[in-house]
Structure 1
Amino acid sequence: MYVKTTKRENKSGTVRYLHLAHNEWDPVKGRAVPKVLFTFGREDDLDRDAVRRLVASLSRLLEPGEALASTAAGDLEFVSSVPFGGTYVLDHLWRRLRIDRIVGQVGQPKRGRRRDMSMTERVLFSLVANRALAPSSKLAAADWVTHDVHVEGLPAIDDDACYRAMDWLHEVTDDLEKRVFDEVANLLNLEVDLLFFDTTSTYFELEEADGPVARDDKGRLLTDDRPPAEEDGESADQAGFRAFGKSKDSRDDLPQIVIGMSVTRDGIPVRCWCWPSNASDQTLIRQVKDEMRDWTLSKIVWVTDRGFSSERNRRYLRQGDNAYIVGEKLRSGSPEVKAALSRQGRYGEIAQNMRVKEVRISDTERFVICHNPEAATRDQHIREQLVSQLTTLIEDTDKLSDFKRGELRGKIADKPGLNRYLRTTPSGKLRIDTAKIKTEENLDGKYLLRCSDPDLSAEDIALGYKQLLEVERGWRDMKQIIDLRPVYHRLEERIRAHVVLCWLALLLIRIIETSADATWTTVRRELDRLHLGTFTGPTGLFRQVTALTKPQRDLLAKLNIPAPKQIIALEPAPR
């Protein structure tokens, strides 16, 4: 049996009719002639649902493989399949945050020829999606977009387009970050009452650092012949962007830059900054506060760690209607720390692994001592191991010469953990410092917080500071999931743009994690299983999405993203 087509001419033109027919032998004519079994009617009025039900009903009479082979067109060719789910979800969220419109609104580049902003927006999205899904260099990212993934509206790009988009991004970063945050705040109804800030460093595989150039007080390049801005009567030093400094990744042997990030209590990254390697944590927080002041946020309580706890920084953070929660160094030896630790009082339980005690030693600031019993046990165990190791090292050293003891003393001095519990007698003998051990026992599992807000409870102060871990989690994901490094760029403006791309990728990831209540690793793995297949045939080319699984449907429902169309593209064959 087969489908037979007949034509009939009428006033409106040629009309085609479809019939189900089969050939029968006609002995009179001596040949096979078609016999119509059923008429489907006019082709333009065909009930396709009824035909689909008929085909499905007949397919049940065959084995699954035979049914598939019989219903597939013999001249249909499967060309390729690429991951589709990741870019589909990220693109929907990108548009929901109106970043596509923001890119078109922040304007043309300050110099150079005008650009196609729609293409620039698509290229920027593809670079952000690449950081979230398959981090790579910009050259590899261009190849990834062209061959290994489907990005709507961007069938192919080259590395030059990526670099041009990054140069534009560097020029408009400040305005773009502000507008993106406004959209995020509206989307998630963010209440930015606690703002966490921290810095990290990232290194470069270079043998030599960048040469020093003139910069303003914010670490940005001076674009004219004006002298560097002055602060408190001192000119800002000239500095190279990638330079040697104290590395938080224990790579002091390589040039690095300093990166800062502010994060909400929910882990949503608000903004990021870049500074040369010689930037001091003690001065960065003041710049950050000034720049965030222009964002017209409500009252903010800044939460920072011990690296930003100088008196000048604290005074600066109190300006306006703002306040702070700052970690204090227990071993600083300051009179305030000694007074806080010496005050008697009971701890209040706020969690299974947290006790707090507030002490009053100032009219303007509050001090909260936090104690973690589990951390105290861990600190005690580590100290016992260090003391045991040190005891073994200095055993029988009284018999050594002064030179040999001095040599051993120098080796121990290079190990801060051991050196903390070592003392030297007036005669040069090496001994365990029992007084230091007793002092350290009183600090086991404790950390001290300083707060200027008079309304926050001691519990809120402790839990607020504990959420500073969200920034640390952001740094960890930036370096391990989004691959902040290695950075395959030489120009400063492109390095800064690269950091902004990583920030945008982290922003989309955090919103997805918040909405789906799942880690990005889990979400990405599930989305990568949703593919887009490309088929060609005599009538042309079409792209079809694989059927959604239940986990994928549930994930899209949590993210409030509609299911993708089954057929993404139809391209008729040229006549």
Structure 2
Amino acid sequence: MYLRFTQRTNADGSVVRYVALAHNRRVDGKSKPDVLMNLGRIDRLDVGGLLGLAASIRKHFGDGLDNCGQADDAVEIGQHAGSAPIEVVDSRPVGAVWLLEGLWRHLAVASAIKKAADGRRFTTNMERVLFALVANRAIAPMSKLSAAEWASQDVIIPGLAAMDDDQAYRAMDLLVEADTQGEVQEAVFFAVAHLLNLEVDLLFFDTTSTYFERDEEESGEQAFRTYGKSKDHRDDLPQIVIGLAVTREGIPVRVWCWPGHSNDQSVLEQVKDDMRAWKLGRVITVVDRGFSSADNLAYLRRAGGHYIAGMRMRDGGALVEQALSRQGRYQQVRDNLRVKEVRLDGAGDVRFIICHNPDQEQRDKQHREQAITRIEAELERIRAQREREARRELSAKAREKAETAHVRAECALRDHPTLKRWIRQQKNGRLVIDRAKVKAEERLDGKYLLATSDPDISTEDAALGYKNLLEAERGFRDMKSELLLRPIFHRLEHRIRAHVLICWLALLLTRVAERGCGQRWPRINRELSRLSQVTLAGPAGTVIHTTPLRPAQRAVYQALSITPPARVSVFEPA
């Protein structure tokens, strides 16, 4: 029931307002007001009598409580006769954390952590602390000290009232110890595969690197933070190498960490052995050109395994020449992809597939022409300046200085990271455009070469499967940008591994959320963060309410089969 106000305009222009006690009833599918009692004109109303009636109702029935002691869905906030006001004493967002909590339990992460903590004596639930760290990484990534404050004061973490940074570090140590042999990742993987009915016949693997904010690397044979070829273009900082295996749906199923000087060719054996221990059955491993050495590909075929591998084309060699010289018609796979299978002499049962992207062909041609134009302009500038200096009457010292400047400009052009590939240095030291290299590159525009050992996979599926390797690259990109994997400030190796595992778990939860509701995680996070839990305190006690669900928020929970937070979660009588 509610108070319904109406008004009437008199002939003299004055307005008279009326009030009535009413409720809504549904007629022919529509809600219409039904007046229960007319209370009369507002200017003639017995306000004191109505307030006394309200006080009597509150005296007998309390502040919105039914006879079972449960809080009503609507609590009126205001000043009533003979009572103190109800105050808002706390308000925190709960929507995104609640979603991640549901996924955390569905994916068996909670049970895996609890199993590892059995028999340990902790003053705080370490599984809850780890969930808080993972949720923080997904929602608002920050340092471990700030994450502890965030979990204690800024959000609602179910089952965790507060935590500090020491507890965060102990939880990280427990996570690394529990996952020494990949037990946590294995339990999570099979839970995800069962929940989402994942296809794991194709697993995509790639590596990246991340750096540390310090200038010196560790020393010794067991050094972890070392200098190496940085994929973040920070060769000046120590780093580690991170490997990630994902399914064709983009779900990350396992993560690895290696010392910063590890190269792609040296880590694939461990990846193959670790995945074989999970006994997945028929699995085709998809790798990029950095892993396509003969030894790596042979190792991937052990125990009945197969691979789809990108091959290096710009290095030349007899293999590439044979593939490009084979005649045959391309098969249209998609608007921007054509494929052609070729058989090469001496390759055994390995199949080779040439893929051609017409759009990429135009981009490659445009980039090369822009580079050639830039080189020609720079060479012409150096030549013209050298001729002007030759016509001028200069001292020997001035001529030597001018020639040094010319040579320095040529050296800068020769060593340019993107232009040097098109330049050739003659015997007299002068630079010219390598026309043979330009002509050879024209044959490769928009093309890339694949090799597969699987005799059953179709040419189309092999090509499209290799394109899905971009999912691993997208995982690295999101870990570094949205989850703030880098830079890492930890010093101890096991803490570094724990940090990477936490980022992997956050990526896993966000990917499952994205796949379930068809939206990107930043959009989901932004929408659900508007759902809050409000703590109200009054004479009758304290009650915790959740703000009403919006349609978009309800749709996310329904898509992922997660029950949203209750409207009233806690009531503590005074």
Q: Please indicate, yes or no, whether the TM-score normalized by the shorter chain is above 0.5.
A: yes
Residue 75 (str. 1) matches residue 85 (str. 2)? yes
Give the equivalent residue in structure 2 for 1:354.
337
- The question of whether the paired residues in 2 share the 8 Å contact of 1:317 and 1:323 is answered with yes
- The question of whether the paired residues in 1 share the 8 Å contact of 2:93 and 2:529 is answered with yes
Give the equivalent residue in structure 2 for 1:387.
372
Per the TM alignment, residue 337 of structure 1 is displaced from its structure 2 partner at its CA by: 1.4
Give the equivalent residue in structure 1 for 2:553.
552
Give the equivalent residue in structure 1 for 2:193.
185
Query: Structure 1 CA distance, aligned partners of 2:245 and 2:461?
Result: 19
SS of the residue aligned with 2:125? Answer: helix
SS of the residue aligned with 1:484? Answer: coil
- The question of whether the paired residues in 2 share the 8 Å contact of 1:103 and 1:117 is answered with no
- For residues 459 and 187 of structure 1, do their structure 2 counterparts lie closer, same or farther at Cα, with a shift above 3 Å needed? same
Give the equivalent residue in structure 2 for 1:460.
461
Give the equivalent residue in structure 2 for 1:543.
544
Per the TM alignment, residue 429 of structure 1 is displaced from its structure 2 partner at its CA by: 3.5
Query: Structure 2 CA distance, aligned partners of 1:335 and 1:373?
Result: 25
TM (norm. structure 2) is 0.82
Residue 211 (str. 1) matches residue 211 (str. 2)? no
- For residues 286 and 117 of structure 1, do their structure 2 counterparts lie closer, same or farther at Cα, with a shift above 3 Å needed? farther
Query: Structure 1 CA distance, aligned partners of 2:415 and 2:405?
Result: 16
Per the TM alignment, residue 570 of structure 1 is displaced from its structure 2 partner at its CA by: 2.2
Give the equivalent residue in structure 1 for 2:159.
153
Query: Structure 1 CA distance, aligned partners of 2:173 and 2:515?
Result: 31
Per the TM alignment, residue 414 of structure 1 is displaced from its structure 2 partner at its CA by: 1.5
- The question of whether the paired residues in 2 share the 8 Å contact of 1:104 and 1:117 is answered with no
Paired AA for residue 348 in structure 1: Q
Query: Structure 1 CA distance, aligned partners of 2:213 and 2:171?
Result: 25
Give the equivalent residue in structure 1 for 2:312.
329
Paired AA for residue 209 in structure 1: E
Give the equivalent residue in structure 2 for 1:200.
208
Give the equivalent residue in structure 2 for 1:11.
none
Within 5 Å, give how 1:334-483 maps onto structure 2.
Answer: 334-361=317-344, 362-395=347-380, 397=382, 400=386, 406-483=407-484
Per the TM alignment, residue 491 of structure 1 is displaced from its structure 2 partner at its CA by: 1.2
- For residues 458 and 489 of structure 1, do their structure 2 counterparts lie closer, same or farther at Cα, with a shift above 3 Å needed? same
Give the equivalent residue in structure 1 for 2:30.
none
Query: Structure 1 CA distance, aligned partners of 2:359 and 2:270?
Result: 37
- The question of whether the paired residues in 1 share the 8 Å contact of 2:330 and 2:339 is answered with yes
Query: Structure 2 CA distance, aligned partners of 1:521 and 1:417?
Result: 34
- For residues 517 and 71 of structure 1, do their structure 2 counterparts lie closer, same or farther at Cα, with a shift above 3 Å needed? farther
- For residues 152 and 394 of structure 1, do their structure 2 counterparts lie closer, same or farther at Cα, with a shift above 3 Å needed? same
- For residues 413 and 117 of structure 1, do their structure 2 counterparts lie closer, same or farther at Cα, with a shift above 3 Å needed? farther
Query: Structure 1 CA distance, aligned partners of 2:273 and 2:158?
Result: 39
SS of the residue aligned with 1:449? Answer: strand
Within 5 Å, give how 1:506-525 maps onto structure 2.
Answer: 506-525=507-526
Give the equivalent residue in structure 2 for 1:231.
none
Query: Structure 1 CA distance, aligned partners of 2:264 and 2:64?
Result: 72
Give the equivalent residue in structure 1 for 2:24.
none
Give CA-to-partner distance per residue, 1:377-402, whole Å, 9 cap, x none: 11111111100010011126557498
- The question of whether the paired residues in 1 share the 8 Å contact of 2:124 and 2:167 is answered with no
Give the equivalent residue in structure 1 for 2:292.
309
SS of the residue aligned with 2:199? Answer: coil
- For residues 388 and 457 of structure 1, do their structure 2 counterparts lie closer, same or farther at Cα, with a shift above 3 Å needed? same
Of residues 237, 261, 265, the one that matches 1:278 is 261
RMSD: 3.0
- For residues 552 and 349 of structure 1, do their structure 2 counterparts lie closer, same or farther at Cα, with a shift above 3 Å needed? same
Query: Structure 2 CA distance, aligned partners of 1:116 and 1:527?
Result: 32
Give CA-to-partner distance per residue, 1:320-346, whole Å, 9 cap, x none: 121101111111222111111121221
- For residues 36 and 335 of structure 1, do their structure 2 counterparts lie closer, same or farther at Cα, with a shift above 3 Å needed? closer
Query: Structure 2 CA distance, aligned partners of 1:325 and 1:457?
Result: 12
SS of the residue aligned with 1:320? Answer: helix
Paired AA for residue 541 in structure 1: T
Of residues 129, 135, 140, the one that matches 1:134 is 140
Give CA-to-partner distance per residue, 1:75-106, whole Å, 9 cap, x none: 21111211110111111111112222221223
Query: Structure 1 CA distance, aligned partners of 2:233 and 2:62?
Result: 73
- For residues 92 and 397 of structure 1, do their structure 2 counterparts lie closer, same or farther at Cα, with a shift above 3 Å needed? closer
Paired AA for residue 556 in structure 1: Y
SS of the residue aligned with 1:292? Answer: helix
SS of the residue aligned with 1:417? Answer: coil
Within 5 Å, give how 1:47-126 maps onto structure 2.
Answer: 69=78, 74-108=84-118, 114-116=120-122, 119-126=125-132
SS of the residue aligned with 2:297? Answer: helix
Query: Structure 2 CA distance, aligned partners of 1:133 and 1:247?
Result: 28
Give the equivalent residue in structure 2 for 1:490.
491
Per the TM alignment, residue 536 of structure 1 is displaced from its structure 2 partner at its CA by: 1.4
- For residues 169 and 430 of structure 1, do their structure 2 counterparts lie closer, same or farther at Cα, with a shift above 3 Å needed? same
Paired AA for residue 525 in structure 1: R
Give CA-to-partner distance per residue, 1:482-504, whole Å, 9 cap, x none: 11122231111111001001111
SS of the residue aligned with 1:436? Answer: helix
- The question of whether the paired residues in 2 share the 8 Å contact of 1:106 and 1:175 is answered with no
Query: Structure 1 CA distance, aligned partners of 2:125 and 2:52?
Result: 58
- For residues 364 and 203 of structure 1, do their structure 2 counterparts lie closer, same or farther at Cα, with a shift above 3 Å needed? same
Give the equivalent residue in structure 2 for 1:171.
177
Taking every aligned residue pair, what percent have the same amino acid on both sides?
48
SS of the residue aligned with 2:490? Answer: coil
Give CA-to-partner distance per residue, 1:237-283, whole Å, 9 cap, x none: x1411111110000011111111110000000010011111112101
Query: Structure 2 CA distance, aligned partners of 1:486 and 1:394?
Result: 40
